[in-house]
Amino acid sequence: MNYSTLEKTGLRVSQLGFGCMRFVMGPNGQVDRSLAIPLLHRALEFGVNYFDTAVGYCNADSQRVLGEAFAQVPRDRLVLSTKNGFHEAPAEEWWSRLIESLTFLQTDHLDLYNFHGIGWDIFTRFLDGPDGKLKLMQKAKDQGLIRHICCSFHDSCDNLIKLIDTGVFDVITIQYNLLYRDLEKGLDRARETGTGIVVMGPVGGGRLGVDSDKIRKLTGNAAQSTPEAALRFVLANPGVNVALSGMSTTAMLEENVRITSRPPFTAAEIQSLQGEINRVKSSAGVYCTACGYCLPCPFGVDIPENFRVYNEHLVYGLTEQDLKAYSQIVHRAGDCAECGACLAKCPQKIPIPAMLRKIMATLDPQAGPLAATLTPHSALAADLLQTRLTLKNLEAEPAHPEIKIHLEQGASIANAPVDFGVLAPQGSSSGLLKIRLPDGIGSLDGTLEARAENRSAEIPFSRPFLIIPRGTPRRHRPQLTPADFNGSEAVFNANKYEILLHSDEERLHIEFDIQSPLEGLAHPPNLNGAVMELYVDLRLPPKLGAPGYEDGVEQFFLYLGDDTVKSKSDRSYDLTYRRIPTAAGIRLQISLPFANFRPPGSPLPKAIGLDCMFQVCNAAGQNIGHPTYGRRQGLWSNPKLFNRAFLV
């Protein structure tokens, strides 16, 4: 085992750290001790001495298991690191987590105590300052309960450098791997200042856990496997002290010990690896710098993210992982409606729609010879949606296509069919289509059937939309599935919600009608864990839909247990919030003045961004579902691109 010294702490730590978040779980929802405890003992025998855990890992059982495994081990053989994520909680609660960690870990002190998952924003708002949690950290250190103040970090490189330069932290745990190198300048700064760096996710959350010929070749066959290349790459950075691996089997442990006992890549090997990566990117990939100038796409396509995944596929050839990564992009290449609005904005002159077609043909397993999209574009009336219908030829032959559109839920086409003419090889064509909507539907669902010569494709689609009429509210029912309720058919059947929207000159009115017999919703004293998250983007085009929290973008938390509304930014708003108990559940009414987001008297926008997510909790406050308007993935955190709500 190779060791490294965490300079500010003087601690000698194994370069392979044991991440205690992936133990095998038993059927009772707790860690299977019969596997985890021998595994931890074996790691100690191999010389691993760095163990990283946190309050919530493994259903909040990870710390207990570590405590049980090491109860009889001399304390100086271990470096224990755990985390406290209760940044916003009252001081007593934060402190009780610390005492709980000491109890569970069966120790009188923690070597490294981390603020869990912070960035600059959390640091300045909740940790620093007269009432910040740093005071508690210092108190714990003064009392000998912790030895070193540390944090785990998720934010930009500039903010990592700012955090290092505060001088507060002895060790910082960050994400870093072959696929994610954004924080490299921060690693340099950590090295200059003697700040220890522990790397989580050295194998890219498992993406580098599979084999790839391309990666072996990139390393000039210096590594025998992708995980070996990944770990030796991370440890080659002189700013890195420990690479954590979440291990669950002895085989994984033995393989990691073998790899980390080898020397990391040399500087020359890293240089040649970098040269090879650049060569592949510039010869075959898309030279996208992720500057974001092309955003927002009026149809929501996350252009740089599609290019990033495609480039990674070309460079690293992790095909199975790349297909998965592509499928997890919220707005994929297939959503491109070929409007051309991005073309002039790209400084690299990338032919964006054509490249997106190529990406679709490469990474979308559902893409056939022909692809088609039907995308909401604007509202002409409360019951009339203007959409853009686009047909793409993904093959090298010209096509003369016919298209049939099957709409569900009573939606119907209100104008003449679009004539696509002849599609050039790998070309595309679009037209506008008006769709008449019955009241209540909140998603355009159906199938596009495209035929050309001897080729055909059937493309199912599901497009959430919202219309905000002046005057009478319009109802929207989101398309939910049992997956929105942790897979439970029973909870799904018992929970419905609708969104009613309207506006007047001054205000936007949003109403959620939640029909749920859940005990947690039916009995107000138990509602404390239940919250509706509402995301509003009222910026002016061209910023509408672009990522980030700026003026005009806000996330509200509507609490179901009392009349509290919190905003993510902590700004104050002239909003009203009412909760009305109903026979079937609860109705939440919120109204927001446009003037809070836009200069007074400015004309109303044609579209705004609107999303909501409802966290369903049971009476014990445990989350048992998160139905989300728009059925998109990744909405546990802020939506990167908002659903458009059209004002008429």
Among 71, 99, 290, 483, binds ligand SF4 (CB under 6 A): 290
Does 433 interact with ligand SF4 (rule: CB under 6 A)? no
The Cα–Cα gap between 553 and 538 comes to: 6
Does 341 interact with ligand SF4 (rule: CB under 6 A)? yes
Does 56 interact with ligand SF4 (rule: CB under 6 A)? no
Strands 196-200 and 242-246: parallel
Q: Near ligand SF4 by CB under 6 A, which window of 48-56, 63-71, 352-360, 544-552?
A: 352-360
The Cα–Cα gap between 638 and 545 comes to: 12
The Cα–Cα gap between 14 and 233 comes to: 16
Interacting residues of 531 by C-beta distance below 8 A, sequence separation 6+ = 557, 558, 559, 560, 614, 615
Q: Which is nearer to ligand SF4, 293 or 636 (CB)?
A: 293
Does 292 interact with ligand SF4 (rule: CB under 6 A)? yes
**Shortest distance, position 395 Cβ to ligand SF4, whole Å:** 20
Does 5 interact with ligand SF4 (rule: CB under 6 A)? no
Q: Which of residues 466-505 bind ligand SF4 (CB under 6 A)?
A: none
Does 432 interact with ligand SF4 (rule: CB under 6 A)? no
Among 164, 174, 197, 336, binds ligand SF4 (CB under 6 A): 336
Q: Near ligand SF4 by CB under 6 A, which window of 148-156, 199-207, 226-234, 351-359?
A: 351-359
| HEC secondary structure over 130-164 | CCCCHHHHHHHHHCCCEEEEEEEECCCHHHHHHHH
Does 352 interact with ligand SF4 (rule: CB under 6 A)? yes
- What string marks each residue from 299 to 328 as x (binds ligand SF4 by CB under 6 A) or -? x-x-xx--x---------------------
Among 73, 192, 254, 293, binds ligand SF4 (CB under 6 A): 293
The Cα–Cα gap between 41 and 69 comes to: 7
DSSP letters spanning 485-538: GTT-HHHHHH-EEEEEEEE-SSEEEEEEEEE---HHHHSGGGGGG-EEEEEEE-
Does 532 interact with ligand SF4 (rule: CB under 6 A)? no
**Shortest distance, position 341 Cβ to ligand SF4, whole Å:** 4
The Cα–Cα gap between 183 and 189 comes to: 10
Cis peptide before 353 (omega within 30 of 0): no
Does 294 interact with ligand SF4 (rule: CB under 6 A)? yes
Q: Near ligand SF4 by CB under 6 A, which window of 336-344, 425-433, 491-499, 583-591?
A: 336-344
Which two tokens mark 432?
Answer: 């506008």
Does 337 interact with ligand SF4 (rule: CB under 6 A)? yes
The Cα–Cα gap between 466 and 630 comes to: 10
Contact assessment for residue 257 and residue 46, using Cβ atoms and an 8 Å cutoff: yes
Among 6, 200, 288, 544, binds ligand SF4 (CB under 6 A): 288
Q: Which is nearer to ligand SF4, 357 or 587 (CB)?
A: 357
Does 607 interact with ligand SF4 (rule: CB under 6 A)? no
Surface-to-core class of residue 624, CB atoms within 10 Å of its CB (0-12 exposed, 13-18 middle, 19+ buried): middle
Among 60, 157, 161, 339, binds ligand SF4 (CB under 6 A): 339
Contact assessment for residue 241 and residue 15, using Cβ atoms and an 8 Å cutoff: yes
Residues that bind ligand SF4 (CB under 6 A): 288-294, 297-299, 301, 303-304, 307, 336-342, 345-346, 348, 350, 352-353, 356
